[in-house]
Every structure is written in structure tokens, then in C-alpha cells.
Homo-oligomer: A and B are copies of this chain.
Amino acid sequence: MEKAMTPTPVAPRALPEPTLRRLPWYLAYVSILASQGVEYVSSTAISRKLNVDASQIAKDLSFLSIKGKTRIGYDVAELEHELEEFLGFKRGHNAIIAGVGSLGSALIADKGLQRYGLNIVAGFDISASVTGTRIGNVPVFDISELAECRQLYRAEIGIVAVPAEKAQEVADRLVEAGVKALWNFTPYRIRTEEGIVVTNTSIYAHLAVMYNRIDAQNSPVR
């Protein structure tokens, strides 16, 4: 590389969600290029590969402190580095998880989350069959110990992986315990006080979209 990498400042402003959703696509692609030893990539090349307008890509990347070179494009290693830093994947974020059923256990076991900056440090449940055990290295506590553990582990993110009918109650307890953000995996629409970040990841809602699209494709009348 020609120049030293400068530290990317933490993005202090809320970026448009579509941009934040596209940036990881670019990262996934440039990581592949990096592993193949490719040195430069143009927004046109990214555009062709990912089916996103080149002008949109340039606009999205303009939020980063990286400049492409005329006729050459972006330095692949630098772009990969800047995207990872900018998206927060290289900073550790401590999280606790409420509910260690099949989904909760799977999230704790998933190695991918750690690679993207999320450290699940403790799990909570009401079932005596799991409290007091460990999943991998992660201890599982009774939910009554939530507030104390939250503080001890300095966890700012609370993951909600309980049944839908418990989602609101558990979310309230997590917020009361001091988390600043909730990652909600239930299909229940959680409400919180202002200032708490809520990210909804309902994979079942995605199923609804997929089923509808399949039915529409199979239907003779479009």
C-alpha cells in the first residue's frame, strides 16, 4: 500500500438505513477480492457484481474517509479495512441475551457474530434446567440476576430471544437493567422509552415475504 491507513472516525451521525444495509454487501465482496490478492476495484466493477447502481455505490462510500483513484478505483485492502472500522465490526460490543432456547443457544454458539464485533457475555433464562450451566464459554444465569450481571459485564446490548408473549416484559427488564440497545428476534413489536435503540430481526417475517413472492411467481396472473 502506498500510504499508511488513517484511523476511521466513529460515525457520529445516523446514516440512512439502506446505506447501512448495503455497506456490508460491499465489504463481503471486497473481502473476497482481498483474499484473491486483487489490489484495486472500481465502483463500476462492484456495481456489475452486486447489481447496485455505480453512482449509489460512490454515494454510499462517500460517508467513509476513503477516496477512489481516477481510472484505478479503490485500494481493496484499504476499502476492506475502512468498511470494517466504519461499520463497527472491529470494535467489541458486549451483549447479554435473554432466552437461551433453540434460537438463543444458536446465537451464542454462532462464531460469525464475534467476527462482526458482537461479544455475547452472558445468557439469562427462567428455566432451572439451563441456569447455572454454560453454552460454550458463556454462563447462563437466572433472570433475577439480570441487573447485577448487566453492570458487571458492562453490556450495552440486550438480545431478546424469548417467546413473543414475553418479549415486552423482558425488554422492559433489560432496559431497566441499563442496556442502551435491544436486538429483538421475536415477531413482537417491542415499545421502549425514547433513546433506546431497537433493532428488529424477525426471520419469520422474512419467511412471510418469501412465501408471498413464491406464490406470486407461481400464480398465472401477475
Contact = CB atoms under 8 A, between A and B. Distances in A.
Interface of A: 10-15, 17, 20-21, 23-25, 27-29, 31-32, 35, 49-52, 87-89, 91, 93, 102-103, 105-107, 109-113, 116-118, 156-157, 164-165, 180-181, 183, 186-189, 191, 195, 197, 199, 201-219, 221-222
Nearest to A35: B165
Nearest to A186: B28
B214 A156 contact: yes
Nearest to A50: B189
Contact of A181 (B111, B187, B204, B214): B214
A217 B105 CA distance: 29
Nearest to A164: B28
A51 B221 contact: no
18 contacts: A12-B219, A13-B219, A25-B188, A27-B187, A32-B164, A50-B189, A89-B204, A102-B110, A102-B111, A103-B110, A106-B107, A113-B204, A113-B207, A117-B211, A180-B217, A197-B214, A199-B206, A201-B203
Nearest to A107: B106
A217 B195 contact: yes
Given A187-B24, A191-B51, A213-B14, A208 B87 contact: yes
A28 B51 CA distance: 35
Contacts of A32: 164-165, 188
Contacts of A216: 11-14
Contacts of A112: 102-103, 204
Contact of A116 (B49, B189, B204): B204
Contact of A197 (B13, B203, B217): B217
